[in-house]
Every structure is written in C-alpha cells, then in structure tokens.
Amino acid sequence: MILDGLGQLLSDPNLLALFAAGVLGGCLFGAIPGVNMLTLGAVLLPFTAQMVPSHAIMLYGVIYCSGVFGGAITAILFNIPGAPENAPTAIDGYKLTLKGEASRAVGAAVLYSALGGIVSCILMIAATPLVAGFAIRAFGPPEVFALILFGLAISMTVGAASPLKGALSVGAGLLIATIGSDPADGVGRYDFGSYYLLAGIHFIPVLLGLFAVSEVLAQLIGGAALRPGTARVGLGLPRLRELWAMRATATRSAGIGLLAGVVPGIGAVLAAFLSYSAAARLDGGRIGEGDIRGVVASETANNAATGSAMIPLLALGLPGGALTAMMLSVFQIHGIVPGPLVFATSTDLVGLLFAGMLLANVAIFGLGWLQTKTVVHILRIPFHLLAPAILVTALVGAYALRNLVLDVWVMAAAGVVGLFIRRTGYSIPGLVLGLVLGGIGESSFSKAMQMLDYQPLRLLERPLTAAFLALAAISFLGWTVDAIRSQRAAATLSRAS
C-alpha cells in the first residue's frame, strides 16, 4: 500500500506540486503566530470539493506534519512560538539562542521533529486498526482526566525558583482557565457581565504575551541580549555522543506523542506539554534554563502525535483534533465513510496519505535548513528596530485569532505578567501548563462524572485511571518533599547569615 502511494506521488508532477505547496504552506502558516495551520486548513476546505479525494486528504496530512514543525525555528530564535505546539520549545530553545547555541537548538529541533514524525508514520502504517481499537476501548474521559492531573502534578516543578512558586504558577493558570462558561451547565464564571469573556481566555494571546511581549519588555529594560552581528546560526545537528545521551528523552517523548495522538481529544499540543513536563521531572538537569533536552522533548512529541492522530480517524472515523476534524469533513464532502472498510475500498487514498506524510517528515530536514538560512538574517537587525516588528507581529497574531480587541488586551496584560514572573522566580511554563491543561481537564472531569453517576471513587475502578491517579499522587508527594527541603534550606541560610 505504501509503495503504491509513493509510486502515485512521485510519478505525477501535479501531485508533487500539490505536495510541495502543502509542505511550504503548512510550514509558513505554522510559523506565524495566530495564523496557524488551522487557518490554512479552513481556507482550503471549500476548494477540496473540486479535488480528487485522495489528493485532498494527502494535502491535509502534509499540512499537519509541516505545520506542527513550522513554529519551532521562530520559537528558538525569537521566543515567538508560531503555534501552541511549539510553546515548550521556546522555553529552552530561546535561552540556548541567548547563550550563542542557536545552531545546536535548531539542529536538535529539526532532527527530532523529523524522527518523531517518521516513527509515528511507521506506527500508523503498521498498526492502525490494532492500536485504534485498543485506544478507543481503553481511553475515555476518566483516563484523559487522570492523565492531565498527572501532567499538572509534574508541571509544578518546571522552571520555578522554588516548588511553592511552581505550584502557585500552575494554580494561576488553572484559575485563568476557569474564566468563561462552565463546561457542564454553561453558567458564566468570572465574566464580569462581559459577553466576550463568556467565551473564555484563549491561550494563544496569553502565550504571545508571556513569551514575545515580556521578552521585548525585559530586553528593553535590561539591555538587549541579541545584538547585531552576534547571531551566527546554522543547522548544528547533534553528534553521535549527544544522540546517545538524549536517547531516554527522545524515546519517552516519542511514546507520549504516539499515545497522545491516538487518544481522541489530546493531540499535538498536549503531547508537547506533557512530554516537556515529564522531561523536566525525570531527566533533571537544567531543563527550563536552556537545556537541549527541553527542545528534544517537545519537538519529538508534537511531531510523533501527527501520524498516530490518523489512526483513530482512519480506523474509526474519530478525529483527534481540529485539523483531523477538517479531514473528516473532506471525507464527508466526497461521500467517503472512514472506518475499517476504507482500507479495502480506498486503498489508493490510504496509501497516498501514508506516503505523503512520510515524505513530509523527511522534507522537514530541508525545510529546517531553508528556514534557518532565511529567518536567521533577521537576528542581525538592531534590537531597537526588531522589537517593534516583534510587537506588531504578536499584535496581529492575537487580533487575527478571533478578531477581538479583547485578545490584544489579554496579550498586553500577559506581557506585563510575564515580565513580573521572570523577575520574581515564578514559572511561565507552569502558568501555561495550568491554562492549557486546566480547560481540557475540567471538561474531561465533567464527562467522566456523568459516565460514573457523579461518584468520584468509581474513578479507581478503572485500571488505567487508577494508575495515572497513583502517579499523580506520587508526583505530588515528591513535590511536597521538595518544598519542605527548600524551606528548611532557606531557613538554614537565613540563620547562618
């Protein structure tokens, strides 16, 4: 099937041109904040009615792969994650840029994005019906809620000066996530009578403020760290010794990404955040302060989620995220019903999709080189000229999301909060994790309670849910021990001085 798909793709010049357009379009839209691959997918949707079904489905698969990677370079070089999937990449990637190690960070992002995507495609090709059946049977709202609770427990230790500040940062993110309508009964919370706040605070303006705006403010106040002439960026691929040293991080992140992609409703965004949190907790070191493993963790996981997200879509007709939901619409436009029969009745479509996504992940190597060679020159612009451009880009990205001035104000407020967090030792990653995971976790909890007749103890009757809850409890216990040790150490230093 995959060989037939490769034959179709490589022998048809028009199809190759469509493939190239999808790869470049996804990469470009993925790199622009606020105008991400979902925007491109939505714009293209009406035109798919005039296309051959297999070509349209392949185009969306290619956009998905390149779009998830697209924002990694700008996240590393400018601290501007083009898409939420790349936000964890910015945390360590940009600090590596400030240390003069941008080439190393970019090389790791390119290599591990491609590897994560290729591994995911191989799993998709080899085990779609088997894995989809297991995931759908084993994962429901209770398991998703428990998994998110585990992610939140881990995230309390990410990027903060002390465990308590990490926990407060996560709590602040969770509090912001409650703004808007209650997912169970639709009652407004913290909306202050505003119609716009009923829709909640979208996390993209918050990300732009916390990362891009606060970075501009910090550099304007403290003196620009990026000065003209200091930017020397290439594609510094890791050496064999580094590859071996990062094997545990990469393997675990690929596993998290594959699992997150298979489970409907999690997707690449949560894959990146959960993988980053796990790396921060399990790998130790200086993750959050400019550690290459932070880049490896998020970029491996978010690309690993792309191929596995096709598994429930093709095998059961269940989309795992917004872009796969658009792909389901393409199926419906052409009167095709995804499911086990699609492998027998539309082998050309499935083969072309598999081939397109596999080649798109291989093409990431070339895209990374091309993107680095083009955008790196921007780093040589004096910062007093670059800063307004960054602010305008962030402003346009925030407004373009929903055409709401409110999002611009949210971005500005998040920028000031981000500056405060940087100067006081609280955690930007913790706040972002609380915001992103909180909304989905609350929705999953509501659905889980409806399933379990509002008896929380029945969560423990489900083996996977119980296992994730136990891991969350162990992580919280570890956080408590760290907090006590931190307070005792501070008290000892205080008495000694």
Residue carrying the six token digits 């489905």: 57
Tokens describing residue 39: 């925007």
Residue 493 confidence (pLDDT)? 67
Where residue 192 falls (left for φ over 0; alpha for ψ -120 to 50; beta otherwise) is left
Question: Cα(382)–Cα(368) distance, rounded to whole angstroms?
Answer: 24
Amino acid at 349: L
CA atoms within 13 A on the CB side of 321: 27
Residue 330 in domain: yes
In a domain, 490, yes or no: no
Nearest in space to 85 (alpha carbons), one of 123, 117, 126, 59: 117
Lookup result for tokens 């994962």: 139
Cα gap 365→360, rounded to integer Å: 9
CA dist 78 and 55 (Å) reads: 35
Distance CA(301)–CA(115), nearest Å, equals 10
Q: For residues 72 and 106, give the distance between their C-alpha atoms in angstroms, rounded to a whole number.
A: 8
Confidence at residue 409, expressed as pLDDT on a 0 to 100 scale: 92
d(CA 7, CA 11): 6
Q: Is 198 exposed, middle or buried (0-12, 13-18, 19+ CB in 10 A)?
A: middle
Beta bridge partners of 188: 181
- Position 372: which residue type? T
In a domain, 492, yes or no: no
Residue 333 CB partners (closer than 8 Å, separation 6+): 48, 49
- Token pair 């960026």 in the structure block, residue: 233
End-to-end CA distance of the chain: 71
* Inside any domain, residue 207: yes
- Nearest Cα neighbor of 122 from 358, 315, 462 is 358
Q: Does the predicted TM-score (pTM) go above 0.85?
A: no
Helix (H), strand (E), coil (C) string for 99-149: CCCHHHHHHHHHHHHHHHHHHHHHHHHHHHHHHHHHHHHHCCHHHHHHHHH
User: Tokens for 17?
Assistant: 């041109």
* Distance (Å, whole) CA 434 – CA 173: 4
**At 188, phi and psi to the nearest 5?**
-70, 145
One digit per residue, pLDDT tens: the chain, 497 residues?
Answer: 677 878 888 888 888 999 999 888 888 777 766 556 766 776 787 788 788 888 989 998 899 888 888 778 878 887 777 677 788 888 888 888 888 888 888 888 888 988 888 888 888 777 766 665 666 667 778 887 887 888 788 777 666 777 788 889 889 989 998 998 887 777 888 888 887 888 888 877 887 788 778 878 887 776 555 544 445 566 677 788 888 888 888 899 988 888 877 766 567 777 888 888 888 777 766 777 788 888 999 989 988 888 888 877 777 666 666 677 778 778 877 888 776 677 777 778 888 888 888 898 888 877 777 776 666 666 566 777 777 877 887 788 788 777 888 889 998 999 899 889 888 888 887 787 788 778 878 888 888 898 888 888 888 888 888 998 998 888 788 878 877 877 777 777 666 66
Q: Is residue 248 part of a domain?
A: yes
Please, which residues have CB within 8 angstroms of residue 115's CB and are 6 or more apart in sequence?
Answer: 250, 254, 300
Tell me, what's the pLDDT at 122?
Answer: 84
Q: How many folded domains does the chain comprise?
A: 1
**How far is 210 from 202, CA to CA, in rounded Å?**
13
d(CA 268, CA 485): 35
Calpha distance 92→14 (Å, rounded): 40
Is 424 within a domain? yes
Q: What does DSSP assign to residue 291?
A: -
Four-residue CA torsion sign, 262, 320, 30, 396? negative
CA distance 85 to 72: 9
Domain housing 107:
1-485
- Contact (Cβ atoms closer than 8 angstroms) between residue 175 and residue 439: no
What is the pLDDT at residue 158?
65
SS (H, E, C) 177-203: HCCEECCCCCCEECCCCCCCHHHCCCH
In a domain, 494, yes or no: no
From the list 406, 396, 402, the residue with the least C-alpha distance to 32 is 396
Q: Has residue 497 been placed in a domain?
A: no
